[in-house]
Structure 1
Amino acid sequence: MGLSSSLTSARGALRAVASRSHTDRPHWAARIEDVKNAVVGTTLRRLHWDLRLQPFHGFGSGARVRVLAKVLYASPGTPADFHDQPVHDMRTMAVRGWRNFASQVAPHRTVQVLLGDQQFTVRADRAGIVDAELEVALPPGHHEAVLWTAPGNEVTADITVVPDAAEVGLVSDIDDTVMVTWLPRPLLAFWNAFVIHQSSRQVVPGMPMLYQRLAREHPMMPVFYLSTGAWNVFPVLKRFLYRNGYPDGPLLLTDWGPTNTGFFRSGPDHKHRALAQLAAEFPTMRWILVGDDGQHDPSIYAEFSAHHPDQVDSVLIRQLTEPEQLLAHGSRRPREHSAHRPAAPLSLEAPDGHGLLAELERTGRISS
């Protein structure tokens, strides 16, 4: 009976997809994923699995807030707040990352959000991701949004409201910029999912101190961590940043599943979109953009600087060692040479955070 219902659900999903016009048809991999989600979701509901929410760190200005979360299926009896734990107490969440990849998403579910004294109704996308901009006025600082799909499974999501008076913000890459895993980029997904010991991830020397100095120099500075990593590794990355003394801030990650246009999402496109959204959300903010020269960060930041020259304070690039370059893209030389990059208002390079801090002091951007 359960298999018959699942197959019926699968045929229904296929018919829904087939009814769209050819120009609107998603990529075949996305259609297969939609069918898989329909079949597995029907089976789990018949086994009385419940919906649970994994909240992410949201942000906003004084007039608008972006709320982020993921809707998942969980076995009967799973606590509603199994993902909603303090950063300093994420033992299970952080070290058993494979569970985050093995979980089943619940697409297109309705989610209620209580923020301040206002309640909103939002909807997850086909990957189970809630990414909603809400018109709500909140004072600057830390807030909590309450999210639920049904009474009894409420969770809270951190929300950082950036002060209107903040003039400088920081956007930082993660892999090879704030942490080094010493693995080829194609293996990073496996690493983040299955490596158990948090100590295996190495902090880039001097980077926490650099970010702390920048935060002291600009007391109202928001910090955003922009990565092509999947939302599945959010708790792993959040714990790493906390344990190594990096300033707290929202993570802007992505979903690795198929899209309407391709088998995988484009990492550079994700970063371009995220930077453009930040520029639009905070039009008077000048950004310190931090990345590494192992992949596309220099060209992404250069393009952003060309389109938003008044919104870039500086570009800081960590220079990878030859072994790191080899692991990052198969060559011992930087993927993108400085001579081929458009100049940002201020572009500095150094092998680690200590060197970048020294360069900022030399140019007078930070008092020595």
Structure 2
Amino acid sequence: MRSRQFVGLRIDDFVTRHIVRFLRRRGWRETIVPFTGYGTAEHVRVMGRLVLRPTKPRTYLGMYAGQFLNQRGWRNFVSIPVPRRPATIQVAGRQLEVVTDRSGYIDVAVRTAGLSAGWQDVTISTDEASATPAPVQVVSSDEGFGLISDIDDTILSTWLPRAFLAAWNSFVLTEGNRQAVPGMARMYQQFLAEHPGAPIVYVSTGSWSTLPFLNRFMKRHGFPKGPMLLTDFGPTEASWFRSGPQHKRHSFAELARDFPNIRWLMVGDDGQHDPALYREFAELRPDRVRAIAIRRLSPTEQILAHGTASLLRDNADLRWDSPVVPEVLGADGDELAPRVSRALKEPD
């Protein structure tokens, strides 16, 4: 006897289905939102999302007023997915037919042959949405260094996870009011300049809906371009909310599988679970982690994040044994950079 689907999924699917029908009658049409993928000469991971958007711009807003409102944080979370729709991926002369998932996402590994290292474009299309380029970073099989970075409170000050402040920062403030953590962009640029061709992958529990804002933020503040592995709000197969730590564990495992020769520098912060998750991965796969760098939140940030100035540490942090890989702490990128450099020079 087949078990019934979780009630949260059924409700979510019901609402999405009826909204899509309503908006199609209002003239909204399919649009591909490309995500940045990654891969090697043998395979690439292609990601994107199929959503509905109005075909005509809202002319009743003046140009400047429209630009201002479009940068309000809440607009990042308003998107209407098109679930279970056929789509076509073209990469390296091959054509692959796929179907979007229940939230409109496309996430598929495509076998390739002889792709050159560097940035490449694949295309995603449907019978309604025109072919849209999706960037893919192809990494050489000889590359042995890579960088994994968290986003919230590591490169972007958000004051997460306190509910009121998180909502204010995410839904109300304009993009220009978001602050970059000092020195982090310089540190990333430095290490990638020392390892030309190495990938940087941003792994965060943030929503895919914030991707347009994150792309603009990173470009404005000089952060290196790289794939982002984000998640989505809403129910899962078994619960009403997704697990942020589980999303990160799964992403680390995928990167270890997809890049078997890379040893990662993992950068995060001590505001939530990064220290425990990074150490867990390093202990499970010490051959895949070169070093761990943790940004220490200021007392003010700790109070805003936890309601106390003392650091709330995971049980995994409370241990007596030595770390299996070098670990460094610092208040920002300028403080972390020289410490990470020394750690990377330490013999294995």
Q: TM-score, normalised by structure 1?
A: 0.84
Q: Which residue of 2 aligns with 1:139?
A: 116
Tell me the CA shift for residue 195 of structure 1: 2.1
Superimposed CA distance per residue, residues 153-183 of structure 1 (whole angstroms, 9 cap, x where no aligned partner): 2211111111111101000000110111345
Match of 2:188 in 1: 211
Whole-Å Cα distance in 2 between the matches of residues 347 and 237 of structure 1? Answer: 27
| 1:184 CA displacement | 4.3
| Worse-matched range after superposition: 163-172 or 210-219 | 210-219
Name 1:105's counterpart in structure 2.
81
Match of 1:260 among 237, 241, 254: 237
Q: Is the contact between residue 302 and residue 341 of structure 1 (CA under 8 Å) also seen in structure 2?
A: no
Instruction: Kindly report structure 1 stretches of 4+ aligned residues shifted beyond 6 Å.
Output: 91-94
2: CA distance between counterparts of 1:165 and 1:134? 20
Out of 55, 72, 75, the residue aligned to residue 34 of structure 2 is 55
2:319 matched to 1:340?
Answer: yes
- What one-letter code is carried by the residue in structure 1 that aligns with 2:88? Q
Match of 1:16 in 2: none
Distance 2:289 2:153 in 1: 22
1:95 aligns with 2:74: no
What secondary structure does 1:237 align onto?
Answer: helix
Bigger Cα displacement from structure 2, 131-140 vs 310-319:
131-140
Correspondence for 1:229: 206
User: Given the alignment, which residue of 101, 104, 110 partners 1:125?
Assistant: 101
Residue of structure 2 in register with 1:85 after alignment: none
SS of residue matched to 2:204: strand
What residue is the counterpart of 1:354 in the other structure?
A: 334
Distance 1:278 1:361, change over 3 A: closer
Distance 2:70 2:19 in 1: 26
Structure 1 270/41 Cα, relative in aligned 2: closer, same or farther at 3 Å?
same
Could you tell me how far apart the structure 2 residues matched to 1:291 and 1:185 are?
Answer: 18
For the residues of structure 2 that align with 1:97 and 1:52, how far apart are their CA atoms? 21
- In structure 1, the partner of 2:19 is 40
Q: 1:192 is matched with which residue?
A: 170
Matched, 1:21 2:9: no
1:66 aligns with 2:42: no
Residue 227 of structure 2 aligns with an amino acid whose one-letter code is P
Deviation for aligned residue 1:152: 5.5
* CA positional deviation for 1:274: 0.3
- Superposed CA RMSD: 2.3
CA distance in 2, matches of 1:96, 1:113: 32
Number of the residue aligned with 1:320: 297
Change (3 A) 1:54 1:60: same
Amino acid at match of 2:255: L
Moved more, 40-49 or 160-169: 40-49
Residue 231 of structure 2 contacts residue 247 of structure 2 at CA under 8 Å; is this kept in 1? yes
Separation of aligned partners in 2, 1:33 and 1:192: 22
Q: Secondary structure at the match of 2:236?
A: coil
Q: How many residues align?
A: 333
TM-score, normalised by the number of residues in structure 2: 0.89
Structure 2: 5+ residue stretches without partners:
58-66
Aligned to 1:30: 9
